[in-house]
Amino acid sequence: MNPVEQQIIQKLQAALTPTLLEIENESHKHSVPPDSETHFKAVIVSDAFDHRRLVARHQKVYAILAEELAGPVHALALHTYTESEWQKREGAAPLSPECRGGSKHDAQQR
């Protein structure tokens, strides 16, 4: 496990005590150098999300990961659920969309 991914896991575990936490480094699906830690997907099931709207849940996660989002992490796909919402989904989070952009280098060549 890479350092940024490990840091994300540790911070979310400590702050949210989730019943499920899945972090996936999706950087390899984007126009970034090999072994980058810039694009992540997080599936989080936690009682901390009870009675919170989706925006408030995301704001909470963004606050927890403010340092990472200000630095190495460029994109964070969030899927936040309460335990009952997760059960209704039968334990399945949405798939991430394919990367639609190019690298900054590609844009300069146009």
For the whole model, what pTM was predicted? 0.83
Three-state SS annotation for 57-99: HHHHHHHHCHHHHHCCCCEEEEEEECHHHHHHCCCCCCCCCCC
Which tens digit of pLDDT belongs to each residue from 47-95? 999 999 999 999 999 999 999 999 999 889 999 999 999 999 888 887 7
Q: At what angle do helices 54-64 and 3-16 cross, to 10 degrees?
A: 120
Position 77 scores a pLDDT of 93
For residues 48 and 100, the model is more confident at: 48
Joined together, the tokens standing for residue 69 give 């989002």
Residues 23-46: what's their mean pLDDT?
A: 82
Residue 85: phi, psi to the nearest 5? -65, -40
pLDDT band at 102 (very low <50, low <70, confident <90, very high): low
